[in-house]
Amino acid sequence: MIHEVWIPPVHRDLTAGVERVQVEAATVGATVAALDARFPGMAARLTRDGKLRPGIAVAIDGVLSSRGLRQRLNAPCEIHFVPAIAGG
C-alpha cells in the first residue's frame, strides 16, 4: 500500500528540501525503514532503541497513534512525524 509521508521541516536537510514523499509500507516501522533507505539518517532522527524517539509522535490521517512503530497501515493514508516543540 502506498502512503503519503510529510517530512517535518527540521528533517528536510536529509531530503534536500522535499516535504512529502510516497512510501510503500505495512507499518509505521516499515515506513521509517523505507524513508531511511531513500534518505539515509532518517531512522536515526526518528527512532531510538526500536521505538520512536522521545519527542516524536506519529499521526495517521490526522490522528496521533499510541502504537508507535507497530501501528499497522491498513489503507492508504497520510503520515506525519510530529516533533515536539520546546518553548518557554
pLDDT in tens, 40-73: 999 999 999 999 999 999 999 999 999 999 999 9
Per-residue pLDDT band at 86 (split at 50, 70, 90): low
Q: Diameter of the chain by CA atoms?
A: 41
Beta-carbon-side half-sphere exposure of residue 31 (alpha carbons within 13 Å): 33
Task: Give the chain's mean pLDDT.
Answer: 94
Per-residue pLDDT band at 88 (split at 50, 70, 90): low
Per-residue pLDDT band at 83 (split at 50, 70, 90): confident
Topology of 2-83 in CATH?
A: Ubiquitin-like (UB roll) (3.10.20)
